[in-house]
Structure 1
Amino acid sequence: MRILIGCETSGIARRAFSALGHDVWSADIEPAEDGSNRHIRCDIRDGILHEGWDLLAVLHPPCTRLCRSGRQWMSGPGKWTPPKRLPKGKTWDEMRAEFEEGVSIFTACWMAPIERVAIENPEMNDLARDRMPPDLPAPVMVQPFWFGHPEYKATGWYLRGLPPLSATKPLVEPVRGSGEWKAWNRVHRMAPSAERARLRSRSYPGMMEAAALQWGGYALEEAAA
């Protein structure tokens, strides 16, 4: 299968699919952390989506302005009224520009001429949903601890032509409020820093291994049918 991993620099997903023998490339505006020569540095909207891929997995498209938790920064009561407050150092025009970019990247990937598409994104706010294609389904939510990672981070997958991910290494959840439970919430308790957004969005190897096995296998079965 020819597989494109969009909006990822870590190489975690690319390596997981590649380990199963697929022809895999990653693409992002930033360079690959592992220096791979199978990483294309580009804006994913600039033609690469039309190069005959069998499967597209978009790992970390800009979602800060599209997600439900970001709604408070985009609008006050109703829709597109001035918000009560803005993030430090940001103007409303800058926020709306970031929103438009997020919408543009997400819709370009969803509407790409590729038979199988998986886009990672949290559940969207109403402003973002208003701008989405009419065939966009609700996200399928999974958790890292389904795949062997002792952490909580609800991860939404918008899927077209692919089945939901099934748990592969489910862990028993700790008692709520316990020290272990707090450790599992490390992503949500992460202190503000210049690296916070990048670290929070990093792919989980176990989840990507499951995606490679299940989605790659599904695509191969379909192709052979």
Structure 2
Amino acid sequence: MRVLIACEFSGRVRDAFLAKGHDAWSCDLLPTERMGPHIQGEVELVLEDGWDLMIAHPPCTHLCVAGARWWKEKQADGRQATAITFFISSAKAPIEHIALENPVGILSKAYRRPDQYIQPFWFGDSVQKKTGLWLKNLPLLTPTNIVDRGMIYVDPRGNKHGGVHTNRAKKAYSPRMLLPHTEERWKIRSRTFQGIAEAMANQWGGREL
């Protein structure tokens, strides 16, 4: 299959599909972090290039509940509306099989509820990050390796909480979530977990859909 991984600079999902023998390409405004087939530019320009499957990770900055405190401002200046429009237009792309991924946020109200929610710890990564999948002509993603939930979760309001502890002042946090506030922080948080990437390739790319 010809597979487009939209809004991906890490190459993780792309490489998982390449490993299954597919003609997979990532596309992002940024250059790829891993050597491999990559289109640097606007994804809208390549949507009609004969893809069989698209997995897209539209930017969640203006959509997810973690930034809900700034929604009023983003609604006023149009940033949220632009992000919603991009997501919906991606969902309506002329591609037979589509999966769009985004954390819990405003899309359930502005567009529609996702077909399913998944967690990284269902696929071998001990982290809780509830993420929605909006699917077109694809089966639900089946958990592959349920492990410990990890020491951190993000509640519906975007607040981060530690795991089980006896002293409230000494919460234990996952190294992935305890990141310094640097320019690279958003990149680290946006990379697809490896277990999820492999599950997508195995279940959606393991056979002709």
Scaled to the shorter chain, the TM-score interval is 0.7 to 0.9
Unaligned residue ranges in structure 1 (runs of 5+): 76-82, 84-91
Q: CA RMSD in A?
A: 2.4
Do the aligned partners of residues 174 and 217 (structure 1) sit closer, same or farther apart at CA in structure 2, a change above 3 Å counting?
A: closer
Does residue 121 (structure 1) correspond to residue 120 (structure 2)? The answer is no
CA distance in structure 1 between the aligned counterparts of 2:7 and 2:150, rounded to whole angstroms: 32
- Alpha-carbon shift at residue 53 of structure 1 (Å): 0.8
- The aligned length equals 194
Partner-residue secondary structure (3-state), 1:49: coil
Are the aligned partners of 1:165 and 1:214 in contact in 2 as well (CA < 8 Å)? Answer: yes
Do the aligned partners of residues 141 and 131 (structure 1) sit closer, same or farther apart at CA in structure 2, a change above 3 Å counting?
A: closer
Does residue 74 (structure 1) correspond to residue 71 (structure 2)? The answer is yes
- Alpha-carbon shift at residue 121 of structure 1 (Å): 0.6
Q: Deviations over 1:63-102 (max 9, x none)?
A: 1211233232122xxxxxxx5xxxxxxxx58x73432331
TM-score, length of structure 2 as denominator length: 0.82
1:135-146 alignment, distance < 5 Å: 136-146=112-122
Do the aligned partners of residues 149 and 178 (structure 1) sit closer, same or farther apart at CA in structure 2, a change above 3 Å counting?
A: farther
Unaligned residue ranges in structure 2 (runs of 5+): 152-162
The residue number in structure 1 matching 2:139 is: 163
The residue number in structure 2 matching 1:65 is: 62
Task: Specify which structure has the higher proportion of strand.
Answer: 2
Do the aligned partners of residues 197 and 63 (structure 1) sit closer, same or farther apart at CA in structure 2, a change above 3 Å counting?
A: same
The residue number in structure 1 matching 2:13 is: 13
The residue type paired with residue 62 of structure 1 is: P
- Alpha-carbon shift at residue 137 of structure 1 (Å): 4.0
Bigger CA radius of gyration: 1
Task: Specify which structure has the higher proportion of helix.
Answer: 1
TM-score, length of structure 1 as denominator length: 0.77
CA distance in structure 2 between the aligned counterparts of 1:55 and 1:119, rounded to whole angstroms: 11
Identity score, percent: 37
- Alpha-carbon shift at residue 186 of structure 1 (Å): 4.0
- Alpha-carbon shift at residue 177 of structure 1 (Å): 1.7
